Amino acid sequence: MESTKVFDAKGLACPMPVVKAKKEMDKLESGDILELHATDKGAKSDIPAWAKSSGNEIVKQDQEADVLKFWIKKA
């Protein structure tokens, strides 16, 4: 999947992946896609919950080894 920006949040503990994702999303235009990489297990539920509450959309979610990957489309 093609993304507008890739953000590496690996090694950050909750709630930092969500906080950083919000800051990155604020820089993007509507329809842009942020690809977020995180290693915090809590991100598996936190990122989709935040995306839903903020009106953004998770268009894809994947996991490679211990890295969670999210493609988030800005509303």
User: CB within 8 A of 36, min separation 6: which ones?
Assistant: 6, 7, 9, 17, 21, 24, 47, 69, 70, 71, 72
* Residues with catalytic roles: 14
Query: Diameter of the chain by CA atoms?
Result: 31
